[in-house]
Amino acid sequence: MSSPLQIGILAEARYLVQNQPTGLINELNAQGHAVRVMDPQQAFYRMGDDQWFAGLDVIVGRGRSWALLGLLNWAERGGCLTINRQAAISAVHNKAQMSMALAGSGLPIPETYFATIEQLAKEIPAENYPIILKPIFGDNSRGLLVVNSAAELAAIDWPEPVALAQRYFKTDGYDLKLYGIGDQIWAVRKVSPFNATADMDKAKEGLAEITPELTELGRSCGELFGLDLFGVDCIETETGTLIIEINDYPNYTNVPAANERLAEYVVRQTEKRK
């Protein structure tokens, strides 16, 4: 094994009780690396004082808070390697920016609209209902709302000045998740938060076959946003696989040996930089 690395894990407290980054931390410790866990919202920082990341070979970020994004940018300006980079996380945190990039790239997404609630209610064709209404900033399915008609949409008291509206597709109760670590891609079927039914075939949940087409789709999403660690939420429709959204550094549920693969990637990328 190569010399031990000094690795910072910058993670919001809510994630430290989840599979990630806890699994990565445990694996890095087991390999003999020095791991420093930092909560971006539980520390004091003086502008211009870089001591908080001094000596670190790399910082792995898990979260999307303004504090975390600001600190990642600070560390990058100071020459520290970060995984994921602040700009990549920000690009998928902002769902409007993410959807615009996906549409502009030609990658397959459902019909998606961006406007005020009033304009959305006026302009979305009736045949494209139901839709899912999404906040611009949000994660873990928070704030999502299925809307069945223009009248229903117009009556909604939306807390933000604008929203995303995306065409809703009925599925077999499962969503398809593509997990990426660098250019390695895995496919996993997960119960949908909107389409689950009592008579679903539970045997379909878990690791799924990864085809060349899905591999290419996952890699294209990672490359588009410059993400090292990411998940792509998809649905399978009669016309093919559609991308719903992309998330930075997911939990990698059902990915074989995920902790070891994550640690290997972080160590490899860091040693390439040294």
Q: So what's the pLDDT on residue 49?
A: 97
Q: So what's the pLDDT on residue 163?
A: 94
Q: So what's the pLDDT on residue 201?
A: 67
Cβ neighbors of 208 (< 8 A, separation 6 or more) are 176, 187, 188, 189
**CA 77/CA 71 separation, integer angstroms:** 10
pLDDT per 10-residue tile (average), the chain, 274 residues: 89 95 98 97 93 97 96 98 98 95 97 97 96 87 89 95 93 91 97 70 84 98 98 92 96 97 98 87
Q: So what's the pLDDT on residue 198?
A: 61
**CA 49/CA 123 separation, integer angstroms:** 51
**CA 210/CA 12 separation, integer angstroms:** 31
**CA 175/CA 188 separation, integer angstroms:** 8
The model's pTM: 0.94
Q: So what's the pLDDT on residue 55?
A: 97
Q: Which domains does the chain have, with CATH numbers?
A: 6-84+257-273 (3.40.50.20), 111-167 (3.30.1490.20), 170-248 (3.30.470.20)
Q: So what's the pLDDT on residue 182?
A: 98
- Beta strand pairing call for 174-181 and 81-83: unpaired
